[in-house]
Amino acid sequence: MDASVYPVPSVAAVRIGDEIHALAAEIYPICRSITGAGVRETLRLLGRHIDLEQHAVPTGTRVFDWRIPREWTIRDAFIRSADGRRVLDFKASNLHVVNYSMPIRRYISTVDLKRHVFTLPDQPDLIPYRTSYYEPDWGFCMSQRALDAMTDDTYEICIDSELADGHLTYGEYVHAGETEREFLLTAHICHPSLANDNCSGLALLTLLARNLVARRTRHTYRFLFAPGTIGSLAWLAANEERVPLVDHGLVVSCVGDAGGPTYKQSRRGNALIDRAMAHLVSHLPPNGKAIPFSPYGYDERQFCSPGFDMPVGLLQNSAFGTFPEYHTSADDLDFIRPEHLERSYRLIMDAIEIVETDRRPVNLLPKGEPQLGRRGLYSKLGGSGPGAAMPMLWVLNLSDGAHSLLDMAERSGLHYRLILDAADVLEAEGLLSSGE
Amino acid sequence: MDASVYPVPSVAAVRIGDEIHALAAEIYPICRSITGAGVRETLRLLGRHIDLEQHAVPTGTRVFDWRIPREWTIRDAFIRSADGRRVLDFKASNLHVVNYSMPIRRYISTVDLKRHVFTLPDQPDLIPYRTSYYEPDWGFCMSQRALDAMTDDTYEICIDSELADGHLTYGEYVHAGETEREFLLTAHICHPSLANDNCSGLALLTLLARNLVARRTRHTYRFLFAPGTIGSLAWLAANEERVPLVDHGLVVSCVGDAGGPTYKQSRRGNALIDRAMAHLVSHLPPNGKAIPFSPYGYDERQFCSPGFDMPVGLLQNSAFGTFPEYHTSADDLDFIRPEHLERSYRLIMDAIEIVETDRRPVNLLPKGEPQLGRRGLYSKLGGSGPGAAMPMLWVLNLSDGAHSLLDMAERSGLHYRLILDAADVLEAEGLLSSGE
Amino acid sequence: MDASVYPVPSVAAVRIGDEIHALAAEIYPICRSITGAGVRETLRLLGRHIDLEQHAVPTGTRVFDWRIPREWTIRDAFIRSADGRRVLDFKASNLHVVNYSMPIRRYISTVDLKRHVFTLPDQPDLIPYRTSYYEPDWGFCMSQRALDAMTDDTYEICIDSELADGHLTYGEYVHAGETEREFLLTAHICHPSLANDNCSGLALLTLLARNLVARRTRHTYRFLFAPGTIGSLAWLAANEERVPLVDHGLVVSCVGDAGGPTYKQSRRGNALIDRAMAHLVSHLPPNGKAIPFSPYGYDERQFCSPGFDMPVGLLQNSAFGTFPEYHTSADDLDFIRPEHLERSYRLIMDAIEIVETDRRPVNLLPKGEPQLGRRGLYSKLGGSGPGAAMPMLWVLNLSDGAHSLLDMAERSGLHYRLILDAADVLEAEGLLSSGE
């Protein structure tokens, strides 16, 4: 990490990481799903910070090849032994129930029950996260150790759930900019008590949106908190005319752990957001990296389907599926840290800075170098190198109207912020026009 | 090697390797050259399997910058010591005579004889393979040990050969397809008893041609068995109007040893056959690789000359010149193995599959992903990865009419066969049109 | 180093290295600056070998954003202790005075003096080289050890210099070719007693220019010896109409040390000179390499400013700033060696050969290979490889009118000289037209 670009966090800076963590902690206990009260309650909590609009799409509504399913309500679930002890209790962890399980209550032989129980034998203390949204079924998730301890022949099981006509809900917040051109920032809201995936993304984007309120921007910023797949499809179906307005987009998830950052490119691979994020993460060694698009992941799958092909990438710290805590009960509030959340927050703010400020300036004295020393912009002592003038030399050299500031950052290997600052100084000196 | 794509050979599959080896063994003893009875006899034996047409080009015929040479006949050759013992005998190995040697019979001092003897001092037990097609000369090839054992002062030498007007012969077999667009498959037939170079290629292509008989194909498949250089030039001179019809081509040689596979690109470097073979060999670690074109090698030199610039590459296992057995008596029937021949056979069959099936399908539900689960194409349990659906996700995502199946295989890193199977399933489900 | 291309230097070849070193030694003692008598004296010594024209630009002349400064004269300088001993003496090393120091003579406390003294604490025996061209100031440079030995409280200091209206001087020599298209070769002349930087470049280019006299060339060769930055700007200001005529250019500096060679590309990165030099240095392992353009360095900064964007790169051995002797008194005549100077000389001569001879020949027998053996151009014995014919095979294969000789050298990996020789032989044989 380049200390001159990413200084040691100040007290103020640390605060945003703490704030994000606190908000993530607030929504962490809620049992979310692709529909239901958990999503609405989460949106209500996020809505304390921004003016969030809730959209409700009725059960049965067609969204492209899909149909909004019945709404799922879950009240309680348990496995109870003959002695009345709950050997599994939904109240202890909402991961214990396969998400979208149908209601069931009966006595069942342990043999039959095990056909509906999911564990992680290689991580015997952890509860896996499983779902069955579109196939009517029921099941329990538990630690292998808990399962091994179930020595009775029969248990009483209960899933006090309900599937009924209702709505799919998603939340939307728009920060209006000077133009209609949009930057879409979205996080999935369907996962229950998993902190990194995706309380981290929901909390981060909410507070980033709040902090953007006071800022005048060229782009319009749209924040979308929708259930995975069906939620983004519902938004797309309702907003097809907006798709061509989206110039940049990020799906944000798993942004609180210590890994990465990992930027997954959009299907296009060379959109401005792809280049900006690849640039930014490349300045965060040793683990910062950009990886190519693939059609499995989060909602970039839908945004990047061939009928939309939007410039929407995915920002994560560790890539989903690559960390052992992924989709388990170990993805808890200890797994995400304020300092990692802060770094992710700053990365997105930096990406916003790039799309807001990128331009193709024009050197007004393009023949030879202007005399920077006379203007106090160059070391007076010759013979010992360019010192801090290097970003200015790059900007002057490449300001031919064909190179954008991001082009200059990429070619020079210097952080965009250094290039931007140099361009601003040179403009102020009258050496550069701002270009377009 | 990806077990799901290249399963352990079944009994039936092993058979083709054995068949190829047996046919290679059948033609191995024949003393071939660029003209003469050996070529005709070889074509006769190959012709037991396919309806091979023999073409005879008379001595003196101009083929571009060359002229068909006189036909060479070799009956016997020896070096005999004073005690009547043959210290070198053509009947023991047809490599013993420099191919195309002029007739000679006389007593010669050992000193003078040695000027006409070729050995491999670094491989003292092996006989080298040498030729002198276009420069009238004579010579013997022998092991260094045999030469070292020649302690007499004088020997009787005999090369009972003949150079006389006759013909150059090549064989051709055509599998007619639905279109005139051709796939040219060719192996040089001029090397004498060298098993890998090129009994392996001759036998493999013959049996592949035989196995293609029952198959309907879009392309027309032309099999050419011609002497190196002058033979392919003779074919080109007689078939100039066919050159533009050849969309794909492979020179096949040295396909029975344990190395490689090595695909040498055509001069174009990015022809479909280049991409298909590079893709296929890249899925055969650890040694599978594509190497760039260079103008030295086998008959790709002629097909890729600038006046033709045909999309014809070279398939080998170990690259010629890189294995110690190359052009020596150690390139014998033990050096080639049925399992290696079979792998080469399958590689070419896979290349044929690619050129026959490659297309640009169109996703008929391009907005978002179609609901694969509803169609039984996706794991019902959520939360644990895409499983076997990955190839389908890639095909759906890239089926925009601009990407071919091979493009998809290249971009995804998945074997073409997985992509092809996925496209077939999706077409059957009505989710994809076949495109062009 | 490929022995067949760069043979062991002959006696004649070694001579040029010695000659260059001797000329560098002759100009080494002179105290040069961006103006003044030292530059004129250096040009006079170089002018013994070529018909060098001196251009004088008056103080105050505008050159783009700059103005020609007053001329600097330096006669003497010292720091004297109370006992009358010179603890620093300009006559011992002209590096001792900050170049362009204003005149001063007085007694000064050691404390105050030290604010004007530059040392290299990490290289305590060396004197650094420092300048203050455009900021009126004065200072001394000395070894850390010498400074540490200054234990008196007060010293007498003297800089017997003068800043007065005068001229900036640069030298120019033109070797007229058949066309007006130019190859610009330039070396900065402003550094005082630094052997590698840049007595080496000045001496090398002078003798190269002399050796070019007898040679007919297609290009016109312009040699420019000008002070860094302001000198090249002065030339550009006076020769703007020549800029579009310059097809190739090299800034030459630091060409006598044992490192590299290092070729820094022009801003374009793919100009013919960039490709030629990258090719040539790649054949000089282990340290030969091309590096990308950056806007800090020598006068390529001005030639490659966006208003000119000339195809001018920088040839060095070790890259400036990367060797410990850089800009210190250790950059002396022992640091540069005849054999390194010779290699640099040959590199530039090879680059000249490329731009003079590069062309797109056309194979007159493009269908198949011509029969090289019949023409005595191919080994008569078959079976043992292409031998020396490989460059000819490449040239024949790629002579389609679309590939230049340099293209062929790049694609084949063979040295340009081998490709050129092969093309010449094939042309002489009537197999190739020279193309354009």
B242: chain C residues, CB-CB within 8 Å:
none
pLDDT in tens, A102-156: 999 999 999 999 999 999 999 999 999 999 999 999 999 999 999 999 999 999 9
**B405 and B435 Cβ atoms separated by less than 8 Å:** no
DSSP A64-133: TTEE---EEEEEEEEEE-TTS-EEEETTT-GGGB-BTPPPEEEEEEHHHHHTTEE--TTSTTPPB--B-S
Put simply, the answer to whether A309 touches B368 (Cβ < 8 Å) is no
Query: Are residues B390 and A135, on separate chains, in Cβ contact within 8 Å?
Result: no
Burial grade of B150 (CB within 10 A; 0-12, 13-18, 19 or more): middle
Instruction: Give the pLDDT of residue B122.
Output: 97
Q: Quick one: tokens of B218?
A: 């879009």
Q: Which chains does chain C touch, 3 or more C-beta pairs < 8 A? A: A, B
Task: Please give the residue of chain C at the shortest CA–CA distance from B320.
Answer: C385
Residue C368: which region, alpha, beta or left (left: phi > 0; alpha: psi -120 to 50)?
left
Q: Distance between CA C40 and CA C35 in Å, rounded?
A: 9
Beta bridge partners of B66: B63
Q: Which of C187, C180, C295 is nearest to C235 (CA)?
A: C187
Q: Mean pLDDT throughout C235-248? A: 98
Q: Which of C360, C362, C374, C397 to mutate to test the interface with B (most CBs of B within 10 A)?
A: C397
CB contact under 8 A, A295 and B363: no
Best B116, B120, B135 residue to mutate vs chain C (most C CBs within 10 Å): B135
Equal fold, C72-164 vs C362-433: no
Chain C: closest CA distance from residue A368 (Å): 4
What string of DSSP letters covers A190-218? ---S-IIIIIHHHHHHHHHHHHHTT---S
Sequence letter at residue B162: E
Is B390 within 8 Å of A64 when comparing Cβ atoms?
A: no
- Domain boundaries A362-433, CATH class: mainly alpha
Residue C331 has, within 13 A of its CA and on its CB side, a CA count of 32
Minimal-distance CA residue of chain A relative to C190 = A383
pLDDT band at B382 (very low <50, low <70, confident <90, very high): confident
H-helix or E-strand spanning residue C117: strand C117-118
* B neighbours by CB contacts (3+ pairs under 8 Å): A, C
Per-residue confidence (pLDDT) for residue B2, from 0 to 100? 42
Residues of A with CB under 8 A from a CB of C: 363, 365-371, 373-374, 380-386, 390, 393-394, 396-400, 412
Residue C384: pLDDT band (50, 70, 90) is confident
Beta strands in B204-347, from DSSP E residues, in sequence order: 220-226, 246-252, 262-264, 289-291, 312-316
Level-2 CATH architecture, domain C11-68+167-357: 3-Layer(aba) Sandwich (3.40)
Domain B72-164 has CATH 3.10.180.10: no
Residue A388: the pLDDT is: 87
CA nearest to A255, candidates A415, A21, A30, A25: A21
What residue in C sits closest to A398 (Cα-Cα)? C306
Burial of B65 (0-12, 13-18, 19+ CB in 10 A): middle
> Average pLDDT in the C192-210 region?
98
Mean predicted lDDT score pLDDT of chain C? 95
Which tokens go with B160? 């009972």
Mean pLDDT of B376-397: 89
Pairing of strands C246-252, C182-188: parallel
Query: Domain-by-domain residue ranges, chain C?
Result: 11-68+167-357, 72-164, 362-433
- CA of B394: which chain A residue's CA is closest? A295
Report the distance separating Cα B5 and Cα B283, nearest Å.
9
CA A191, distance to chain mean position in Å, is 13
Give the per-residue pLDDT at B186.
98
Set of chain B residues whose Cβ sits within 8 Å of the Cβ of A236: 367-368
The pLDDT of A177-198, averaged and rounded, is 98
Asked if C306 lies within 8 A of A374 by C-beta distance, the reply is no
Average pLDDT over residues C35-40: 98
Could you give the CA distance from residue C24 to residue B55 in angstroms, rounded to a whole number? 73
Q: How many CB pairs under 8 A join A and C?
A: 87
Question: A369 and A393 in contact (C-beta within 8 Å)?
Answer: yes
State residue A278's pLDDT score.
98
Cα dihedral A235, A239, A244, A247 sign: negative
Of the listed ranges A176-185, A375-384, C48-57, C233-242, the least confidently predicted one is: A375-384
Mean pLDDT (chain B, rounded): 95
Q: Point out the least confidently predicted range of A76-85, A266-275, A379-388, B209-218.
A: A379-388
Residue in A135, A295, A306 nearest the CB of B380: A135
* Residue C235, φ and ψ in degrees, nearest 5: -65, -45
Residue-level pLDDT at A90 = 98
Query: Counting Cβ atoms within 10 Å, is residue B238 exposed (0-12), middle (13-18) or buried (19+)?
Result: middle
- Does the distance separating the beta carbons of B233 and C393 come in below 8 Å? no
What integer pLDDT is reported at residue A385 of this predicted model?
Answer: 81
C292 vs chain A: nearest CA distance in angstroms? 9
Summarize pLDDT for A205-222 with one digit per residue, the tens: 999 999 999 999 999 999
pLDDT-derived band of residue A380, with 50, 70 and 90 as boundaries? confident
pLDDT of residue A163: 97
Mean pLDDT, rounded, for A245-261:
98
Rounded-to-integer distance, Cα B117 and Cα A114, Å: 80
Would you state the torsion angle of the CA atoms of residues A75, A80, A86, A87, taken in this order, to the nearest 10 degrees? Answer: -120
> How many beta carbons lie within 10 A of that of residue C237, not counting itself?
17
A380 vs C contacts (CB less than 8 Å): 132, 134-135, 137
Q: Which residues contact B106 (CB under 8 A, 6 or more apart)?
A: B156, B157
**B111: number of CA atoms within 13 Å, CB side?**
1
CA distance C366 to chain B (A): 4
For A323-368, the pLDDT digits (tens) are 999 999 999 999 999 999 999 999 999 999 999 999 999 999 999 9
Alpha-carbon dihedral B211, B214, B218, B219, rounded to 10 degrees: 40
The mean pLDDT of B277-297, rounded to a whole number, is 97
| Residue B5 banded pLDDT, cuts 50, 70, 90 | very low
In tens, the pLDDT along B312-327 reads 999 999 999 999 999 9
CB contact (8 A) between residue A396 and residue C99: no
Q: Supply the mean pLDDT for chain A.
A: 95
Please check whether residue C144 is in contact with residue C124, taking contact to mean a CB–CB distance below 8 angstroms: yes
Write out pLDDT tens, residues B261-276. Answer: 999 999 999 999 999 9
Confidence of residue C382 (pLDDT cuts 50, 70, 90): confident
Those residues with Cβ within 8 angstroms of residue B16's Cβ, 6 or more apart along the chain or in another chain: B207, B211, B341, B342, B345
* Optimal mutation site among C369, C393, C400, C432, interface B, most CBs of chain B within 10 A: C369
